[in-house]
Amino acid sequence: MRNLKVTMAYRGTAYHGFQRQENAVGIQNILEEKLSALTDSAVKLNGCSRTDAGVHAREYCFSFETEHKIPCGNIVRGMNSLLPDDLAILNCEEAPADFHARYSCKGKEYMYLILNRREKDPFLADLALHYPYELDTELIASAAQDFVGGHDFTSFCGTANQKADSFRTIEYFKIEKSENLVKLLVKGDGFLYNMVRIMVGTLIFINEDKLPADCIPRILAARDRNLAGKTVPAHGLYLNKVYY
């Protein structure tokens, strides 16, 4: 039995997240269907993250086991010939027997992309949040540093799926601006449901003076979702890099 590690990218607009769905189309549904056809066997894969409907990935990893002897390069070429244009296989490699795309993961980097100009851009309609107001990147970059370190992120977790263990460690939170595009990059050892989207929404509330610039430590300590900012739309979020 071979254990294969596969890296892919996808545009999540047309899908109800990565995870397999019974009554909707998840990316996992399509991957398993095409991999099963390619290897002439039933394939069940393990993804590194669930990701919400509309979220994108510039780098996503999944693993699966197969007895088929098909070379890794042929999996890349074969899958790319079968998949729709919004899904792409980037790499496939042999992995140790105990490798698991989710449980072997040491950390992830997410990116939230904002188009910061008055006019909307039809070519970024489902790829970036259109924010037509002035965005003080220095202000939100300074405030974002209060997320760095180990914290209980209950206040920044969607209430529909809170976990018993809400402690996560953030390695960095960076803000990069190039002309009208603003990238918010956050790396951590793990993320709760809607966590990045609520963190970004809180920074936007700080930018709009709806929350004070020094509010994040108090919100973290309170463990109360109602104190944090809004949950920004999914279409600006990307799983940017996965670390093993």
Q: pLDDT, tens digit, for every residue of 160-219?
A: 655 678 999 999 999 999 999 999 999 999 999 999 999 999 999 999 999 999 999 999
Average pLDDT score over residue span 79-102: 97
99 CB contacts (<8 Å, ≥6 apart)?
A: 3, 5, 63
How do the domains of the chain map onto residue ranges?
2-95, 107-243
Closest Cα to residue 157, out of 207, 47, 231?
231
Report, at the CATH architecture level, how domain 2-95 is classified: 2-Layer Sandwich (3.30)
| pLDDT given at position 164 | 72
> What's the CATH class of domain 107-243?
alpha beta
Average pLDDT score over residue span 17-45: 94
Give percent of the chain above pLDDT 70: 98
**Phi and psi of 34, rounded to 5°?**
-75, -40
Measured distance CA(235)–CA(11) in Å, rounded = 9
- The model's pTM: 0.94
Residues with catalytic annotation?
A: 52
Average pLDDT score over residue span 27-32: 97
Whether the domain at 2-95 and the domain at 107-243 fall into the same CATH topology: yes
